[in-house]
Amino acid sequence: MIVSLIVAASENNVIGKDNQLIWKMPADMKFFREKTTGHHIIMGRKTFESTGVLPKRTSIIISRNNDLTVPENCLLAISIEDAISKVKNDEEAFIIGGADIYKQSLAVADKIYLTRIHHTFEGDAYFPEIDETKWELISKQEHQPDEKNQYAFTFLEYRKK
């Protein structure tokens, strides 16, 4: 099974503020939906609180609180490794945040799908720097702003070396 991180981050690696996305980028949301639908998605509790249950996906919520009540069709895990062990019959599982979960997951991930938003933002959650000695860029698709997407952005795909 492939373990992939999927994230949108600004030029200064901001991914959010006050547990929310800062930008509205329909093209990125469509990309996220297309990649993750039908798969397991792994996230921290705060990310789950901001996204809720996403349809047509199996959510695995990581929390240190073993007594956390999770909705039906969601699973609870105590660590990244525990979450990955709960993925069954899936060729790719996606880690969708937040910042601490991404940082912890880099060591076990096989791929990173990064939407780079070509703008800088103030925020309180950051994606870690990608160490290019450990990750190889295998795909790059650049996009200009349009009537629906306010900022230029690039879809980047990395594979662990």
52-109, pLDDT tens digit by residue? 999 999 999 999 887 788 888 899 999 999 999 999 999 999 999 999 999 999 999 9
- State the total domains in the chain: 1
- Is 111:94 a contact under the CB 8 Å cutoff? no
Q: From its phi and psi, is residue 149 left (phi > 0), alpha (psi between -120 and 50) or beta? A: beta
CATH number of the domain enclosing 29: 3.40.430.10
103-134, pLDDT tens digit by residue? 999 999 999 999 999 999 999 999 999 999 99
Q: Could you tell me the residue range of the domain that residue 37 belongs to?
A: 2-160
Query: What is the rounded distance in angstroms from the CA atom of residue 90 to the CA atom of residue 12?
Result: 33
37-67, pLDDT tens digit by residue? 999 999 999 999 999 999 999 999 999 887 7
Query: What is the rounded distance in angstroms from the CA atom of residue 114 to the CA atom of residue 124?
Result: 18
Q: From its phi and psi, is residue 99 left (phi > 0), alpha (psi between -120 and 50) or beta? A: alpha
- Is 160:134 a contact under the CB 8 Å cutoff? yes
